[in-house]
Structure 1
Amino acid sequence: MSVPVAPGRLPLLGHTVQMLRRRNDFTADLRNHGDIVRIDLGTMPTYFVTNPHVVHELLVQKGASFRKGALFDKFQPVFGNGLATSNGAFHRRQRRMVRPAFHGERVALYCRAMARAAADLTATWHPGQVRVIEEDTQALAVTIVGEALFSTDIGRRAVEEVRRSIFTVLKQGMVRALSPTFVEKLPLRGNREFDRAVGRLRSIVLDVVRGWREEGVDRGDLLSMLLMAQDADTGAGMSDEQVHDEVMTLLIGGIETTALALAWTFHEIGRHPEVERLVHAEVDEVLGGRTPTYADAANLVYLNQVVDEVLRMYPVWFLMRRALAPVELGGVALPEGAEVIFSPHALHHDPASFGEPHRFDPDRWSPDRAASIPKGAFVPFGAGSRQCVGNLFARAEILITAATVASRWRLVPVPGKPVRVKFTTAAYPSRMLMTAVPRY
């Protein structure tokens, strides 16, 4: 089967700003040209998958035939060989070792810290105060992930360093990843800030790791789980360097996306009165004034639907894979080394899978309607062997935080201050201003 060629080029971030405003329309339009469409990502030819069934084939049915793509190659020299960037047998080994840290019983323990952090945040609010919600959710995500990772005194210093440096790493790291390689060598302010922030984080994480090695005590945190993990085949544990790489992966992957999902959750609840009424009624009925726990999360049925709809509407823009050998995908023969790209944003807004895709509709996730959604059409955490290992943690964080806030406060959008979406690879709000109003 021949592959249609898209009528245009998709530049990298460093090449053009104008495309940032047009690129979602561009990727959404690709579905009109076929299930797999050849496009140029800067100067690099890629195969863009637009059909959810073929995305499912890519991620699940033939996942073993692909590794992470070119975008992740740019991250590896900086963030090391963690789960997000490693491949092959090493990735499978690391995933087996890391996965127990995110089993349900462990996540249930972390939920206590999530609820406490959310309550501490809202305790600083005052009736009628206007909050910049994305700043609140970013600070909250740092606290939650940091405390889940580190529980010692030096760990608390690490959390402060994460608070100081992580958003510089996230912002400048994405610019670097999407720019030509020579740009990272230039004496630019952004490059200097990025390198200093990465260096500070590396230093404090390794200090914490060495301190744990000296004490050798299981403190019930994620770091303890990583340091005690052993390969089931060899009995070997992780080196300090590998633990550092996995910690960096958890910080990078566990803060930005969850903070953004939380912000958009508050935004959508606040601008839909009927959704807000149903969320508050359910939270009141399920919790009865108590602090939410992991066990409560499954019983917050409507809030789960709200979260799914937020994850549908505000996912990452694109992800990449690379063929390890010649492989057939969606009836198309791809050569070894072929770069394959798909857009969760485009998939989640495909009218063939989601009627009225730009309308916020939590009811589309009711059991009868959700059953008709095609495999591969909804991939907020990926799928298959590369699915985000912390997806249970992230979902619990969103649910526990949203329930904690909703049990005490309403967040009301400020009139005349519309929220716009700013895309890098994720959907950032542009100053999400909301007024804190006590419910009682």
Structure 2
Amino acid sequence: MSRDDDRVPTARGRMPLIGHSLAMALRKQRFMRGLAGQGDLVRLRLGRRTAYYVHSADLLRQMLVTDARRVGKGWVYDRVRNLIGNGLVTADGPVHATHRRMMQPAFRRTCISSYAGVMTEEAAALAASWRPGERVAVDDEVAQLAGVVIARSLCSSRHLTKEASRRLASLSNTVIRTMSVRAMLPMGVWERLPLPGARRTTARIREFHAIVDELIARYRADPEHHDDLLGILLSARDEDTGTTMTDAQVHDEITTLFVAGVETTSAALAGAFYELARNPAVERQVLDEVDEVLAGREPSFADLPRLTCTRRFLNEVLRRYSLWFLMRQANDDLRWGSHHIPRGTTLIFSPYSLHHDERFYPDPGRIDPDRWLDGDHLKSAFVPFSTGPRGCIGESFAWAEMTITLAAVLRRWRLELPADSKVRLVTSGTLRPEPLTMIPTPR
């Protein structure tokens, strides 16, 4: 052990053989927040592996931005690559850089504006489907909504009916749930586990991939250009070589869009409705703004800049309901101040833990949109979509979807928690309230 290593404390609670693995898996929220109090760089033992937990905002920027080209994804992504392919979530190095560059046009402001029509239509339809006093499984409904929005933004043509888009959204949620389990298991263990319903789960995953393959084949055979996500992906060219993506590469990127787009957005929307029901003063602020800006009509992309209080509230929701950890790996020897990070070291950071650090967010369990009125000082400690070259390419898409959905629902309803509500904060990939049954009350 070098003197540099001596300066990095080992996290408390290490157990023989398994190290900190069990505590990390079973006590996700508490374990990560406990690490934050032990230092800005803390050593973990995950079985036989050594990992460094990175907490300081300065070190995170060093890792995710300054040293981004010298830091890769890490072994946890290897465990899910067979399930979701080698898209932006799992890809590394030149493949990631090239595909991100090719996909960037699909997430320009003009494209997001066109997708916003789908977001408004689906959110309004969801709100219109509810009845006063009925019990609504809000967590399930917003997960389905997020999947449908991606499916319909992906394919706006006759090749995907509304019924088919709902099926694709439902199947994508199976992929996401399976991925969150597989990521924490050693390679090959998932396939051998005698899990209940494993055959049904496998069949649903295969159906998801078959639908995606069929969509790609139909678009390839159609001489008409479609100005949607899939059309842009199929026509995108590498500016250096002029090559386009293969069908397999397009397939992997579509899967990535579902995985990345449903998990964070649905958790944030569920968290938003839950927190509004628990914070009447905040709810009043948001409702008043929605009423003033919309004046009784459905929301549109043009309304987003005026929904400033809603945006600050969603900042708080994304802070509160964050990814519990992300992983990277040092591809070179790194020097961070007095610390030497050896090549091959696993690096872990927790948006959830950073977003609950009292140094940045006093009383972090409280939803306080006003903390963002002068929030420039918080930007370095706010990474709901990560940051740097591997930051989420769909961040603007997610912001538009969350804001439009929230406004479309709140225009019609207040959502209340029933008296027998037993909501828990559950961590899979992202912290979320479950089960979230709520009762819509007309406004």
What's the TM-score bracket when you normalise by the shorter of the two chains?
A: over 0.9
| Aligned 8 A contact 1:353 1:374 in 2 | no
Name the residue aligned to 2:408.
404
Deviates more, 1:59-68 or 1:22-31: 22-31
Amino acid at match of 1:427: L
Q: Deviation at 1:3?
A: 1.5
Q: 1:131 to 1:161 in 2, by over 3 A?
A: closer
Match of 1:329 in 2: 336
The answer (yes or no) to whether the contact 1:258–1:394 under 8 Å persists in 2 is yes
Structure 1 vs Structure 2 CA RMSD: 2.0
- Aligned twin of 1:25: 30
Do 2:55 and 2:354's aligned partners in 1 also have CA atoms closer than 8 Å? yes
Aligned partner of 1:49 in structure 2 is 54
Deviation at 1:192, TM superposition (A): 3.3
Shift of residue 158, structure 1, vs aligned partner: 4.7
Q: Secondary structure at the match of 2:37?
A: helix
1:391 paired with 2:432, answer no
Distance 1:433 1:421 in 2: 13
Unaligned 5+ segments in structure 1 are none
Residue aligned with 2:76, SS = helix
Measured after TM superposition, the shift of residue 188 of structure 1 is 2.4
Give the C-alpha shift of residue 223 in structure 1. 0.5
1:183 CA drift (Å): 1.4
Partner of residue 226, structure 1: 233
Q: 1:172 aligns with which of 178, 181, 188?
A: 178
Deviation of the 1:191 alpha carbon = 4.5
TM-score if structure 1 supplies the norm length?
Answer: 0.94
Q: Is the 2:120–2:298 Cα contact (8 Å) retained in structure 1?
A: yes
Going from structure 1 to structure 2, the CA distance change for 1:437 and 1:167 (only over 3 Å counts) comes to same
Residue 414 (structure 1) aligns with:
418
Number of the residue aligned with 2:262: 255
Among residues 380, 384, 404, which one is paired with 2:384 in the alignment? 380
Shift of 1:243: 0.4
Structure 2: where are the runs of 5+ without partners?
none
C-alpha contact (below 8 Å) 2:327/2:348 kept by paired residues: yes
Of 429, 434, 439, the match for 1:425? 429
Distance 1:146 1:374 in 2: 32
Question: What is aligned with 2:187?
Answer: 181
Q: Which amino acid in the other structure matches residue 210 of structure 1?
A: A
Work out whether residues 267 and 432 of structure 2, in 8 Å CA contact, stay in contact via their aligned partners in 1: yes
Identify the residue that residue 302 of structure 2 maps to in structure 1: 295
1:122 maps to: 127
Query: Is 2:200 the counterpart of 1:196?
Result: no
Give 1:77's aligned residue: 82
Q: Deviations over 1:92-129 (max 9, x none)?
A: 11001111101111001111110110111111111111
Contact 1:53/1:374 (CA < 8 Å) preserved in 2? no
Match of 1:354 among 334, 352, 361: 361
Q: TM-score w.r.t. structure 2 length?
A: 0.93
Measured in 1, the distance between the counterparts of 2:139 and 2:266 equals 7
1:177: how far off? Answer: 1.4
Distance 1:422 1:31 in 2: 20
Structure 1 window deviating more from structure 2 (99-108 vs 39-48): it is 39-48
Q: 2:41 aligns with which of 36, 43, 60?
A: 36
Matched residue count: 434
- State yes or no: 1:313 paired with 2:320: yes
SS at match of 2:340: strand
Q: Distance in 2 between matches of 1:433 and 1:139?
A: 15
CA distance in 1, matches of 2:188, 2:102: 36
User: What's the % identity of the aligned pairs?
Assistant: 38
Task: Supply the distance in 1 between the matched residues of 2:410 and 2:190 (Cα, whole angstroms).
Answer: 43
Distance (Å, rounded) in 1 between the aligned partners of 2:201 and 2:337: 40
CA distance in 1, matches of 2:202, 2:119: 31
Q: Given residue 143 of structure 2, which amino acid in structure 1 is its aligned partner?
A: Q
